[in-house]
Amino acid sequence: MSGYDYISAITGCTTDVGGRFAVRGPAFELLADGSVASGGPGRAPGPLDLLVSALVVNLLNVLRTGGEPGVDNPDSRAVHVRARTSRYTPGRLKVGRVRVEVMVDGLTEQEVEELLEQYRGGCRVLPAVSTVLDVEIHPVVPAAV
């Protein structure tokens, strides 16, 4: 094929465990399960887990540097992301909803929200995930001690 600039090359194959699959890229290998509803064993990440993980990793990567692409230094921020997904009843266009909570060490809730606004405006992963899930991203701060 010509005209494409490949930035990722993933292969997959079945395994000896029914509903479990090996997925490989040039520098990694992981096991994934089909959804439990479709016969996956439920012990490795399923398709929805992998989709939400892509969003979490993207958030961690972007926010650790304050949204500045290509910045990688020892002063990177510590970022914590928690994503909880709930499933809608069958028959809806989207599968469900994911609520994402983001905490950035040393920043206030307002400062994190400002970073999230930049993220929402420039992220390419978020629109892809949003086609399948309703996504809510919220800043959080640690509880007062």
Q: pLDDT band for position 14 (50/70/90)?
A: very high
pLDDT for 47 equals: 92
Total-model pTM? 0.84
Close Cβ partners of 117 (under 8 Å, ≥ 6 residues apart):
none
Q: pLDDT band for position 38 (50/70/90)?
A: confident
The Cα-based distances of 78 to 41, 53, 62, 75, 139 in angstroms read 34, 18, 11, 9, 14
Contact at 8 Å (CB) between 91 and 103? no
Backbone region of residue 36 per phi and psi (left: phi > 0; alpha: psi in -120 to 50; beta: other values)? alpha
For the stretch 46-68, pLDDT in tens is 999 999 999 999 999 989 886 55
Beta bridge partners of 97: 86, 134
Domain residues of the chain, as ranges?
1-45, 46-145
Contact at 8 Å (CB) between 143 and 105? no
For the stretch 59-106, pLDDT in tens is 999 898 865 555 555 567 899 999 999 999 988 989 999 999 999 998
CATH topology of domain 46-145: GMP Synthetase; Chain A, domain 3 (3.30.300)
pLDDT for 65 equals: 81
